[in-house]
């Protein structure tokens, strides 16, 4: 695209084009959001410049991407050809459409936070097809999902979701990927432990309905256990996750019996059915799943996917200290943990399954 040899100048045109495209896509997202809801919070209603302005945070992200370009100058991971363009469009469309569907399942948080099992899409696309594809899938997909829901456009969260897809693709810049896993694994365990402790600090932090978010401390705690199991004893992973899912299904049935059949009860019924099906599937395929989890690339994907959520969602949530005027504790416990916590669990539980299915499909097609 641009024939520039200087490693410090070469990324500049790409970053500029990327920024222009980001501005266009954000305003397109605002048009979609406004058409979906009269209460959508568009970027024209948000502060653009200054420490709390969304343009500032977009530029900060662009500078970070530029520095990574310089660091990995000349590496094939930055290539964007027709193949990558197709994957960018596919990843963004999948993430946006499915996020719109799952936005109907809120998580107790200070703000619009929902369950996102779809987070595995930008993680996988970044890991399999490169950081540029991953960033586009997460960034554009989040714009589309929030816009279709009618929430509006939130550039710092769009960038954060883009980083979730971008970071797993950076693993290909390392010659020895396995050496990065041990260090990152223990770093994620420490950070998740801190997240669990901080979330318990103030039970007065509540969501719109008054539900305390402090109960979410168990999510990073469970994530720690899952990461350690998948890293050291992968053969126990199907059994451990199966017990979790079985417990979820039983809990849903108990709540359904106590509360009766209503809208919430129907959701619980669906959760119970899905939990039961997944438990049985894990039991039947326990040997194959254990073998897949023993694969080095799978462990790399999990650890980098978790770290991608810590950095990406952390960027989005903590920037709200300046953008939304939140206190650091509220931004961390009220936004970061509710958003990143479930994402991390989905990354640990679902990303290996998606990656293994993709590898098997490649083998059947005769590609390695």
Is residue 280 located within the same domain as residue 133? no
What's the domain range around 295? 177-364
Phi, psi at residue 319, to the nearest 5°?
-70, -20
Cα 41 → chain centroid: 22
pLDDT of residue 261: 63
pLDDT of residue 368: 55
pLDDT at 243 over 80: no
Looking at every residue in the chain, the average pLDDT score rounds to 84
332 SS3 class: helix
Of the ranges 4-13, 34-43, 251-260, the best mean pLDDT one: 34-43
Q: Per the domain annotation, does 220 fall within a domain?
A: yes
More confident residue, 337 or 285: 337
More confident residue, 222 or 259: 222
Is residue 267 located within the same domain as residue 347? yes
C-alpha 361/C-alpha 288 separation (Å) is 15
pLDDT at 2 over 60: no
Q: Per the domain annotation, does 222 fall within a domain?
A: yes
pLDDT at 61 over 80: yes
Is residue 33 located within the same domain as residue 133? yes
Distances (CA, A) of 257 to 41, 145, 271: 39, 34, 14
Q: Which of 173, 188, 212 is the last residue of a domain?
A: 173
Tell me which DSSP letter residue 326 carries: -
Percent of the residues in the chain that have a pLDDT greater than 90, as a whole number: 33
Task: Note the pLDDT tens digit of each residue in 62-87.
Answer: 998 888 888 877 777 788 888 989 99
pLDDT at 91 over 90: yes
Is residue 15 located within the same domain as residue 52? yes
Which stretch of 135-149, 163-177, 304-318 has the lowest confidence by average pLDDT? Answer: 163-177
Is residue 159 located within the same domain as residue 303? no
Q: Per the domain annotation, does 3 fall within a domain?
A: no
Is residue 237 located within the same domain as residue 360? yes
Q: Which of 173, 208, 235 is the last residue of a domain?
A: 173
pLDDT of residue 202: 81
Q: What is the pTM (predicted TM-score) of this model?
A: 0.87
Is residue 142 located within the same domain as residue 276? no
Q: Per the domain annotation, does 27 fall within a domain?
A: yes
Is residue 17 located within the same domain as residue 136? yes
pLDDT of residue 294: 73
Q: Per the domain annotation, does 6 fall within a domain?
A: no
pLDDT of residue 11: 82
Tell me which DSSP letter residue 287 carries: H
C-alpha 1/C-alpha 81 separation (Å) is 10
C-alpha 327/C-alpha 317 separation (Å) is 11
- Report which of 304, 297, 298 is spatially closest to residue 188, judged by C-alpha positions: 304
C-alpha 338/C-alpha 221 separation (Å) is 13
Is residue 133 located within the same domain as residue 150? yes
More confident residue, 145 or 296: 145
Q: Per the domain annotation, does 135 fall within a domain?
A: yes
Q: Per the domain annotation, does 5 fall within a domain?
A: no
Task: Count the domains in the chain.
Answer: 2
Which of the four pLDDT bands, split at 50, 70 and 90, describes residue 165?
Answer: very high
Percent of the residues in the chain that have a pLDDT greater than 70, as a whole number: 88
Q: Which of 157, 173, 189 is the last residue of a domain?
A: 173
Give the residue-averaged pLDDT of 218-228: 86
Q: Per the domain annotation, does 64 fall within a domain?
A: yes
Is residue 54 located within the same domain as residue 201? no
More confident residue, 310 or 283: 310
C-alpha 191/C-alpha 314 separation (Å) is 11
Which stretch of 50-54, 85-89, 316-320 has the lowest confidence by average pLDDT? Answer: 50-54
Q: Of all residues in the chain, what percent are helix, strand and coil, respectively (each to 5)?
A: 75, 0, 20
pLDDT at 164 over 80: yes
pLDDT of residue 4: 62
pLDDT of residue 146: 92
């Amino acid at each position: 695209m641009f024939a520039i040899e200087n490693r410090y100048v070469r990324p500049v045109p790409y970053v500029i084009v990327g920024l222009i495209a980001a501005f266009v896509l954000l305003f397109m997202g605002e048009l979609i959001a406004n058409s979906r809801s009269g209460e959508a919070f568009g970027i024209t209603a948000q502060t653009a410049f200054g420490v709390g302005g969304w343009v500032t945070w977009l530029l900060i992200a662009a500078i970070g991407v530029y520095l990574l370009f310089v660091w990995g100058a000349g590496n094939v991971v930055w290539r964007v050809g027709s193949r990558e363009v197709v994957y960018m469009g596919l990843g963004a469309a999948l993430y946006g459409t499915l996020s719109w569907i799952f936005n109907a399942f809120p998580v107790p948080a200070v703000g619009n936070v929902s369950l996102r099992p779809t987070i595995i899409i930008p993680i996988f696309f970044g890991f399999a097809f490169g950081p540029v594809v991953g960033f586009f899938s997460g960034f554009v997909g989040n714009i589309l999902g929030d816009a279709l829901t009618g929430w509006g456009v939130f550039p710092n969260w769009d960038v954060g979701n883009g980083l979730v897809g971008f970071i797993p693709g950076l693993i290909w810049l390392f010659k020895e990927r396995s050496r990065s896993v041990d260090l990152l694994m223990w770093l994620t365990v420490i950070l998740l432990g801190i997240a669990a402790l901080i979330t318990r600090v103030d039970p007065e932090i509540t969501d719109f309905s008054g539900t305390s978010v402090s109960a979410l401390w168990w999510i990073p705690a469970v994530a720690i256990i899952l990461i350690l199991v998948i890293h050291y004893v992968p053969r126990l992973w199907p059994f451990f996750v199966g017990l979790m899912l079985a417990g979820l299904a039983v809990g849903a049935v108990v709540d359904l019996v106590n509360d009766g059949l209503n809208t919430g009860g129907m959701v619980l019924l669906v959760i119970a059915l899905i939990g039961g099906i997944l438990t049985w599937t894990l039991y039947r395929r326990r040997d194959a799943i254990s073998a897949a989890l023993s694969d080095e690339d799978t462990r790399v994907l999990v650890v980098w996917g978790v770290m991608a959520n810590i950095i990406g969602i952390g960027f989005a949530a903590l920037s709200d200290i300046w953008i939304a005027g939140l206190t650091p504790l509220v931004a961390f416990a009220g936004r970061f943990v509710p958003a990143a916590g479930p994402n991390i669990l989905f990354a640990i539980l679902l990303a290996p399954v998606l990656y293994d299915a993709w590898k098997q499909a490649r083998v059947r097609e005769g590609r390695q």
